[in-house]
Amino acid sequence: MGNFPSYSSNIPYFWPKFEFSLILFGIILSIPCYLFVFYHILMEKVSRQSLHNHVIFLLLIYNFLIVTFDLPMILNFNRLGYVSPFNPFICLLWQFIDNGIWYGALSLMFWATFERHILVFHTNLVSTKYRRLFIHYIPLIFFSLYTPLVYFYLVFIYSCGQNFVITAIRCGSICLYINAPQWLQLYDSYVNYTLPVLLIPICSVTLLSRFIKQKRRLQQNVTWRQSRKMIIQITLISTVYIVFDLPAIIVFIVQSSGYPTFGNTIWSPFLTRMTLIPSIILPFATLLALPRSKEKLARLCFWTHNRRAVLPGTTTH
């Protein structure tokens, strides 16, 4: 498993190997779960056409990229102490996924929690084709492409002559963090990262509160069961982001408010690593709220066995 170089003296000696094993185990389990959830949404007509699943599907795609590329690269770097494989294209792709796709997933998560208010309590806003275009599809396109397009430009097009460093995580910093104006770096930190993470729990808590208060009225509506499923789905997914991303944001805000050493002992070895976890847990949280997922998973797992069972008997000579 390599030497696992440690850059912090305040963590237990066993932590790097334990962290590596835990995240690797999570990645191995999450990839087939991702594939099954993709299969379920694409093959199930109702799930595929449901408006609330559109943002979830894009969120799954973004996090699948993180799980299959970003996290393995981070683990390999932590294991070896250098980037492997190391070439300019890999470095650029890693920087793009770790920034553009990762921030894009946060933006989508915020939009998912906000849009759920519309889909549960204001269905008239998406009742026609034109309303769905302006209230559902255009915002979905914006939140899914905003940060990926920004970082595609910053990583692949805009150049400040930086050199890739084999011994630096993500081969070094992108140009935004090297020579960009201070206001732009603050905008990136607060608008692209801090704001979505703070808005996710606000939207989720208010959604759950509204749902509980209006439960009696909704129960009289034929859409009660569908609304309940949408609430359960977004609550499970948003809880993952709240638990693993919010602590790092709280420490970042306190440090930016004049206490630069606050939380330093837990920032690098623990809090920054916690932000890697949502991508691993996301497909499981999504799977729990998918309709008829247990039956479909059982049929998929035992398809070969059942297929053999119905074949006519054969005679061997």
> Which residue from 144, 117, 128, 141 is spatially nearest to 62, judged by alpha carbons?
144
Distance, CA of 298 to CA of 215 (rounded, Å): 33
CA angle 107–113–116, rounded 5-degree value: 130
What tokens appear for 243 in the block?
Answer: 């638990």
pLDDT in tens, the chain (317 residues): 344 444 455 677 777 888 899 999 999 999 999 999 999 898 888 888 889 999 999 999 999 999 999 999 999 998 898 999 999 999 999 999 999 999 999 999 999 999 999 998 888 999 899 999 999 999 999 999 999 999 999 899 887 777 899 999 999 988 877 777 888 888 888 999 999 999 999 999 999 998 888 776 666 555 667 778 888 889 999 999 999 999 999 999 998 888 888 888 887 778 888 899 999 999 999 988 777 666 666 665 655 455 544 444 444 44
pLDDT for res 4:
40
Q: b or e along 166-182 (b: 16 or more beta carbons within 10 Å of the residue's beta carbon)?
A: eeebbbbebebbeebee
Q: Tell me the residue type at 227.
A: S
Whether 93 and 186 have beta carbons less than 8 Å apart is answered as no
pLDDT for res 55:
96
Residue ranges of the alpha helices (H) in 44-166? 45-49, 51-65, 71-80, 88-96, 102-121, 129-132, 138-152
Whether residue 247 is preceded by a cis peptide bond, meaning omega within 30 degrees of 0, is: no
Confidence (pTM): 0.87
pLDDT for res 148:
96
Q: Tell me the residue type at 265.
A: T
